[in-house]
Structure 1
């Protein structure tokens, strides 16, 4: 089963949102390794440096971050031959249609709006867990 584990990188600058994801994982008994980067630049270092296993990676990406926002991160990721095929799901508060369109143009696997309540957040993480359990990720 360990070889089926998905290595998840959460790219999120908000400490409360990081704690909510961690808590939602525990609540839903999601045991996948969860790595955390506080921004796009740190995430790229982690992905390139081997800190996160290269196999079966999934990035959960916030869009609204300082220095390098999520769209900028996606552009760099997609331009890098070593990282371009990385599966990315946007997890953000941005309901801006331009962000959504641009994210999909940069080949994200999904775009999830962060729910307001923790219960809804847990449901979103449970749904995401079902998705990555069913989809064959490289």
Structure 2
């Protein structure tokens, strides 16, 4: 994961800052990027603000108000260049309709969003172990 981009799509900047601290404490060797909504995220994937390299992993809170995460995931899955991105839905809202829709779009996992520092460290440590044990497309 050294040199890779991970894109966090969430309406809460504080959550991103706390996730970035957890990445630093754990020693995750990837760059965490932040998009506050689906429009900004799409611009970072395909638009004027395109990230290079393209993120291999995305974390999206599809239930956040003002964020159309299901549409974003669908656009990613339909795009040849982006469809292999490993997408995790991370949310504190139990919306069974969104969960079903996301799972039908071939996400890697639908998980409870951690907020406390210890929970975030455990959560991202587990994800980091997973990310480092799988192979990504080039």
Structures share fold, TM-score greater than 0.5: yes
Q: How far is the alpha carbon of 1:28 from its aligned partner?
A: 0.9
Length, aligned pairs only? 135
Partner of 2:52: 52
Q: RMSD value over aligned CA atoms?
A: 1.9
Q: How far is the alpha carbon of 1:66 from its aligned partner?
A: 4.2
2:66 & 2:11 partners in 1: Cα distance?
11
The answer to whether the 8 A contact 1:39-1:66 is kept is: no
Pair 1:97-2:99 in alignment = no
Which aligned runs of 4 or more in structure 1 are off by greater than 3 angstroms? Answer: 65-68
- SS of equivalent to 1:8: strand
Partner of 1:71: 70
Deviation track 1:63-118 (CA, whole Å, cap 9, x = no partner) reads 13344421121122222233222221111112222222211101101112112422
Partner of 2:36: 38
Pair 1:16-2:17 in alignment = no
1:88 & 1:52 partners in 2: Cα distance?
17
Q: Please report the TM-score for the alignment, with normalisation by the length of structure 2.
A: 0.86
Where does structure 2 lack aligned partners over 5 or more consecutive residues? none
1:10 & 1:52 partners in 2: Cα distance?
15
- SS of equivalent to 1:128: helix
1:12 & 1:63 partners in 2: Cα distance?
8
The answer to whether the 8 A contact 1:13-1:38 is kept is: yes
Q: Please report the TM-score for the alignment, with normalisation by the length of structure 1.
A: 0.86
Mapping for residues 81-96 of structure 1, pairs under 5 Å? 81-96=80-95
